[in-house]
Amino acid sequence: MPFAADSLLADGFPGVRLHVVTGKGGTGKTTVAAALAVALAGQGKRVLLAEVEDRQGISQTFDVPPLPTTEVRVVGAPHGGEVIGLAVDPKAALLEYLQLFYKLGRAGGVLERFGAIDFATTIAPGVRDVLLIGRVYEASRRRLDKKHHRGSAPEDLAYDAIVLDAPPTGRISRFLSVGSEVAGLARVGPIRHQGDSVNELLRSGATRVHVVTLLEEMPVQETVDAIGDLSAIGMPVGAVIINQARGADTEAVAQLDPDELARDLRSVGLDPSPATVAGLLEQVRRHGERVTLEQKQLAVLEDLGRPLVTVPFVVEGIDLDAVTEIAGLLAEQGMVP
């Protein structure tokens, strides 16, 4: 498995409260976000793990019932740590928000009947994203006593850390620049205000965007592009997480000789049929090809100069044990303080 050079280790991201996890579709955003939340909880932290894509990824990853639109406990950890899950729903977020600021009462129902809620959450450009992030922002500022205050002491806050399972690389910059985008359309009003506050949190030292990738050409290319875009809009980039890395002892296999392999197989009681020997050699060749490609992509990632973190491919598939194991690896590689 390719491990990063020492200079590219993560420093635990001290002072960071919001970890945004993005990556190309299917690379492992949800899995890594879940593992990062577990790793933080392992340090006794109360962690909010939020998803915004209406996919119930948290429920599937932790094998718990589908999440409601409210925050629910997903798993506990030693020393009082826990992971709370939230599947952010834009409609619920909008209604809560209107309730909170406008004491709407039954007007919410009227808005819904007229399709106004649908308009705001699915059609009006950027508003949906502001609502999604706005909900996360609200949770980040909420105190244990449910009030919100600027500059609350950290120990009074409801969450020590928040991990956001974010939209994929193709949409992440737009998603995180909602504040600015909405500002262009809604020039006044609370949505504008909300956009501005969200912007402030996102660009502060308390936020990092981590990018998950595979050691394959397309995900690596998207990672490079996304990091460029994120930097351009002033978003602080954290680590690049190489997921599903394959184990490889390439040097050892490079010296493989068919006759010796056949002899070795016989010596341990296996049938060295020509088909088996040829098959093994073929696999070793393919494996070598893949590793060569991976090394090439690793070099591209190293050039980014960002901390690199490696998560191996889990052959057995992802379950709670695997997530916990990955959490341990993330912690070892400096993803948590």
Ligand X SMILES: Nc1ncnc2c1ncn2[C@@H]1O[C@H](COP(=O)(O)OP(=O)(O)OP(=O)(O)O)[C@@H](O)[C@H]1O
Give backbone dihedrals phi and psi of 149, rounded to 5 degrees, phi first: -145, 140
Separation between Cα atoms, residue 329 and residue 113, nearest integer Å: 49
State phi, psi for 213 to the nearest 5 degrees: -145, 165
CA 57 to chain centre: 11
Question: DSSP E strands: which ranges in the chain?
Answer: 18-23, 46-51, 72-76, 82-87, 161-165, 207-213, 237-245, 308-312
Q: Which does 160 bind (CB under 5 to 8 A by kind): ligand ADP, Mg ion, ligand X, none?
A: none
Task: Decide if residue 218 touches ligand ADP (CB under 6 A).
Answer: yes
Query: Smallest distance, Å, CB 53 to ligand ADP?
Result: 16
- By CB atoms closer than 10 A (0-12, 13-18, 19+), residue 35 is buried
Q: Which is nearer to Mg ion, 30 or 169 (CB)?
A: 30
Interaction pattern, residues 50-89, with Mg ion; x per rule: CB under 5 A: -------x--------------------------------
Residue 181: other Cβ atoms inside 10 A: 17
Neighbours of 224 (CB within 10 A): 18
Subset of residues 162 to 181 that bind ligand X, contact rule: CB under 6 A: 168
User: Locate tokens 């916990």: which residue?
Assistant: 324
Among 19, 29, 128, 306, binds ligand X (CB under 6 A): 29
Site for ligand X contains 247 (CB under 6 A): no
Beta carbon of residue 91, minimum distance to Mg ion (angstroms, whole number) = 21
Looking at 23, 85, 126, 307, which residue binds ligand X (CB under 6 A)? 23
Site for ligand X contains 244 (CB under 6 A)? yes
Q: Which of residues 145-164 bind Mg ion (CB under 5 A)?
A: none
CB 19, min distance to ligand X, A: 15
Rounded Cα distance between 288 and 273, Å, is: 23
Q: Does 318 interact with ligand X (rule: CB under 6 A)?
A: yes
With 0-12 / 13-18 / 19 or more C-beta atoms within 10 angstroms meaning exposed / middle / buried, residue 8 is middle
Find the binding residues for ligand X in span 53-82 (CB under 6 A): 57
Residue 218 binding: pick among ligand X, ligand ADP, Mg ion, none (C-beta 5-8 Å cut-off by kind): ligand ADP
Q: Would you count residue 169 as binding Mg ion (CB under 5 A)?
A: no
Q: CB of 168: closest distance to Mg ion in angstroms?
A: 8
The entry of Mg ion, ligand ADP, another protein, none near residue 99 (CB within 5 to 8 angstroms by kind) is: none
Task: Specify whether the backbone of 320 is left (phi greater than 0), alpha (psi in -120 to 50) or beta.
Answer: alpha
User: 213: which strand partners?
Assistant: 242
In the range 6-35, which residues lie near Mg ion by CB under 5 A? 29-30
Q: Which positions lie near ligand X, rule CB under 6 A? A: 23, 25-31, 57, 168, 243-244, 311, 313-314, 318
Q: Which positions lie near ligand ADP, rule CB under 6 A? A: 216-218
